[in-house]
Amino acid sequence: MYRVQIGARFTVASIVAGLTALTASAGDAAADDLIVKYDQSQLWRLERPITEIIIGNPTIADVTIQSNDLLVVTGKSFGITNIIALDANREVVAERRVLVQRDERKVVNLHKGGKRESYNCSPQCNPMTTIGDDPEYFETVAKLSERKIKLSSGAGSADAN
């Protein structure tokens, strides 16, 4: 069985079901949570300078210090973690929960039985690596992406595997 799920097309039933799920999960997210999209970054400006950060689970989100009061938080994997920012005296300047979610805009999921493949359709559909995709598909797309990066940087040759 092949099924295509397109984020831009909804039936009335799917909208009602989605709104019900959204309403139920909205209580889980607090107003001060930082919501970051998978494979994207979000800026977090702090009230005062920091010297150290602690990431609850760096496989979910990564943080780069841009300046002593500006962080860049990148979504690495789906899930929830937290970030604690400390000043020079190791006092907490800020602490936030980070929710990494999938960006559904321009994404098409192709379901083949129990296997999923993800495509970025902006405007043409191209394969993309997304956690939760079929492992064989994910590995193939990841290897091709790595090969392209090597070719672009001059580190590989056109006939390299």
| pLDDT digits 0-9 by tens, 36-86 | 998 899 999 999 999 999 999 999 999 999 999 999 999 998 899 999 999
Predicted confidence band of residue 12 (pLDDT cuts 50, 70, 90): very low
Reported as type and span, the H/E element at residue 155 is: none
Closest CA to 38 of 133, 110, 125: 133
With a CB cutoff of 8 Å and minimum separation 6, the contacts of 67 are: none
With a CB cutoff of 8 Å and minimum separation 6, the contacts of 106 are: 7, 120, 121, 122
Q: Which residues of 78-95 are buried (b: 16+ CB within 10 A; e: fewer)?
A: ebbbbbebbbeeeeebbe
Q: Are residues 19 and 35 in the same domain?
A: no
Q: Are residues 130 and 96 in the same domain?
A: no
| pLDDT digits 0-9 by tens, 104-113 | 788 888 899 8
CA distance 35 to 53: 18
Q: Are residues 52 and 90 in the same domain?
A: yes
User: What pLDDT score does 92 carry?
Assistant: 96
Cα torsion 3, 80, 126, 12 to 10°: value is: 40
Residue 44 domain boundaries: 31-101
Predicted confidence band of residue 124 (pLDDT cuts 50, 70, 90): confident
Q: Are residues 22 and 36 in the same domain?
A: no
What is the domain count for the chain?
2
Residue 150 has pLDDT above 60, yes or no: yes
Q: Are 81 and 66 in contact (CB under 8 A)?
A: no
Q: Are residues 114 and 152 in the same domain?
A: yes
Q: Are residues 118 and 65 in the same domain?
A: no
Q: Are residues 158 and 117 in the same domain?
A: yes
Closest CA to 55 of 32, 37, 29, 77: 77
